[in-house]
């Protein structure tokens, strides 16, 4: 993906990444240990939002997300904290996930799930 500096490009990249993460979760929902990890993450977040920020030397795009019922929601309604914790994701990492989704769907441990345990 060309890095044009256009924040819309990075917003789209982040949306594609979240779609792939949701596919990973959906297709591995009953697979040990992933289902247990995602359930624990959902409990740890307790409905709180986390801001995911795409960075490439400087922040390029960001979204607040929540995890509910083993699904990442990128536009929480009324649940976003006023100042949610921020998880930085490199643009090159997101580009790799978007370019090779099957690799990540087959092996969920390749996804960076650290944001599930992020605390403010």
For residue 4, the model assigns a pLDDT of 42
In what side-by-side order are the strands of the sheet with 86-90?
Answer: 71-73, 58-68, 50-56, 86-90
Tens-digit pLDDT profile for residues 29-57: 999 999 999 999 888 888 788 889 898 87
Q: What sign has the CA pseudo-torsion 108, 105, 79, 6?
A: positive
pLDDT of residue 75: 64
Say whether pLDDT at 77 is over 60: no
Domain ranges of the chain: 7-117
């Amino acid at each position: 993906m060309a890095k044009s500096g256009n924040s819309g490009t990075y917003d789209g990249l982040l949306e594609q990444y979240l779609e792939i993460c949701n596919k990973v979760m959906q297709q591995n929902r009953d697979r040990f240990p992933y289902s247990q990890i995602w359930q624990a993450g959902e409990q740890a977040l307790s409905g709180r939002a986390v801001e995911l920020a795409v960075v490439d030397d400087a922040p390029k795009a960001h979204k607040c997300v929540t995890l509910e019922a083993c699904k990442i929601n990128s536009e929480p309604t009324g649940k976003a904290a006023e100042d949610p914790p921020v998880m930085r994701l490199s643009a090159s990492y997101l580009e790799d996930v978007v370019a090779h989704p099957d690799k990540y769907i087959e092996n969920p441990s390749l996804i960076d799930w650290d944001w599930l345990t992020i605390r403010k």
